[in-house]
Amino acid sequence: WLPKAHVEAPIAGSMVLAAVLLKLGGYGIIRMAPTNISTTLIYPMIAMATWGVIMTGLTCLRKTDLKALIAYSSVGHMGLVASATLIQTPWSTSGAVILMIAHGLTSSMLFCLANMLYERTNTRMLIAMRGMHKAMPLMTSYWLIASLTNLALPPTINLIGEIQIMATLFNWSPLTIMMTAMGATITAIYSLQMFMTTQQGHLTKDSKETYPAQTRELLIMLLHALPILLLTLNLELVY
Question: Hey, is 65 helix, strand or coil?
Answer: strand
What pLDDT was estimated at residue 39?
65
Question: Hey, is 235 helix, strand or coil?
Answer: helix
What pLDDT was estimated at residue 34?
62
pLDDT in 10s for each residue of the chain, 239 residues: 777 888 888 888 888 888 888 888 888 888 876 655 666 778 888 889 999 999 999 999 998 889 999 999 998 999 999 899 888 888 888 999 999 999 999 999 999 999 998 888 888 888 888 888 888 888 899 999 999 999 988 888 999 999 999 999 999 889 899 999 999 999 999 999 999 988 887 777 766 667 777 888 899 999 999 999 888 888 776 65
What pLDDT was estimated at residue 222?
92
Domains of the chain, by residue range, sit at: 1-238
Instruction: List the one residue out of 45, 96, 80 whose CA is nearest residue 186.
Output: 80
What pLDDT was estimated at residue 69?
92
Instruction: List the one residue out of 186, 185, 187, 167 whose CA is nearest residue 177.
Output: 167
For 9-57, the DSSP string reads S-HHHHHHIIIIIHHHHHHHHHHHHHHHS-HHHHHHHHHHHHHHHHHHH
Give dist(CA 165, CA 84) in Å, integer.
6
